């Protein structure tokens, strides 16, 4: 069994995969800040899986301070973790500046999406939309060229920013608003952030399609992932093939582990 680890800024996700398969048999999640020592990691993993049954570890991390915890813990139990880095073997071409700084989660998403595309009946231009602490919108052509992307604060990041930057605005949990026009402060914030993210994604996707000369569901595939993609997915209604895959990053990490063995 292979453990795939996606260490994010707010939360970390884990998936258990059978050796030759890409649908996780088990997944679990934890706030990233709760794993601050090797002992924390040991306790967390022991509660969720049989560590002794693991034969491989693969890790994507956008939190460099967390890396030594994972590396040291797994090395002690004779499982050298494989970290996703731009210099490893990829199935895509990175057509960007300074790709050494590209987030490993974005690499994993793009590599899995291209693998998915190659095995699909219809090969399409793909836009990968990951909605978490940040919203990332990355473009990948049919040939597997990673063309670059867009980074914007995520839903909770916007809510926190509004709260921390003002004296009177409250910190609220963002859900789908009942109406476009808020009738009190809380509902106005709900609408502003929720609908703002919707309009942002729709606008960027439209402009990306115009820029690259692609349009319609026969030519474009949108892949949504990230912890909050399910919150807004049904309200996007973009003219494209729309897919939501909450395990896209974990699958990409496992795929990269496999092709780099």
Q: How many residues appear in the chain?
A: 261
Residue 73 is predicted with a pLDDT of: 94
Q: Where are the alpha helices (DSSP H) in the chain?
A: 38-48, 67-76, 104-118, 155-164, 185-212, 229-232, 248-259
Round to whole Å and give the CA distance between 114 and 189: 37
Beta-bridge partner residues of 154: none
pTM above threshold 0.85 = yes
CA angle (113 as vertex; 230, 2 as ends), nearest 5: 85
Residue 216 is predicted with a pLDDT of: 74
First to last CA, the chain: 15
Cβ contacts of 198 within 8 Å, gap of 6 or more: 232, 235, 236
SS3 (DSSP) at 48: helix
Residues with catalytic function: 105
Residue 41 is predicted with a pLDDT of: 94
Q: How many CB atoms lie within 10 A of CB 42?
A: 15
Residue 107 is predicted with a pLDDT of: 97
Residue 120 is predicted with a pLDDT of: 92
**Domains present along the chain, CATH in parentheses:** 2-83 (3.30.420.40), 93-252 (3.30.420.40)
Per-residue pLDDT of the chain (261 residues; tens, 9 = 90+): 999 999 999 899 999 999 888 999 999 999 999 999 999 999 999 888 878 888 999 999 999 999 999 999 999 989 999 999 988 999 999 999 988 889 999 999 999 999 999 999 999 999 999 999 999 999 999 999 999 999 999 999 999 999 999 989 999 999 999 999 999 999 999 999 999 999 999 999 999 999 999 987 789 999 999 988 999 999 998 989 999 999 999 999 999 999 998
């Amino acid at each position: 069994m292979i453990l795939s680890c996606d260490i994010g800024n707010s939360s970390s996700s884990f998936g258990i995969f059978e050796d030759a398969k890409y649908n996780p048999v088990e997944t679990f999640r934890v706030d990233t800040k709760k794993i601050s020592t090797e002992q924390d990691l040991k306790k967390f993993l022991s509660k969720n899986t049989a560590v002794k049954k693991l034969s491989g570890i693969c890790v994507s991390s956008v939190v460099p301070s967390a890396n030594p915890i994972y590396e040291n813990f797994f090395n002690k139990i004779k499982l050298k973790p494989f970290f996703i880095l731009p210099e490893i073997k990829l199935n895509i071409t990175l057509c960007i500046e300074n790709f050494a700084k590209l987030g490993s989660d974005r690499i994993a998403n793009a590599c899995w999406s291209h693998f998915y595309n190659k095995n699909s009946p219809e090969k399409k231009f793909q836009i990968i939309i990951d909605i978490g602490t940040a919203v990332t919108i990355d473009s990948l052509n049919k040939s597997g060229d990673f063309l670059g992307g867009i980074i914007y604060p995520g839903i909770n990041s916007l809510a926190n920013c509004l709260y921390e930057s003002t004296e009177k605005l409250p910190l609220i949990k963002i859900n789908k608003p009942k109406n476009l026009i808020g009738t009190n402060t809380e509902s106005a914030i709900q609408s502003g952030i929720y609908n703002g993210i919707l309009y942002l994604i729709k606008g960027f996707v439209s402009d990306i399609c115009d820029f690259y000369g692609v349009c319609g569901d026969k030519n474009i595939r949108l892949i949504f992932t990230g912890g909050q993609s399910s919150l807004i997915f049904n309200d996007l209604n973009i003219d494209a093939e729309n897919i939501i895959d909450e395990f896209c990053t974990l699958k990409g990490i496992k795929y990269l582990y496999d092709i780099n063995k």
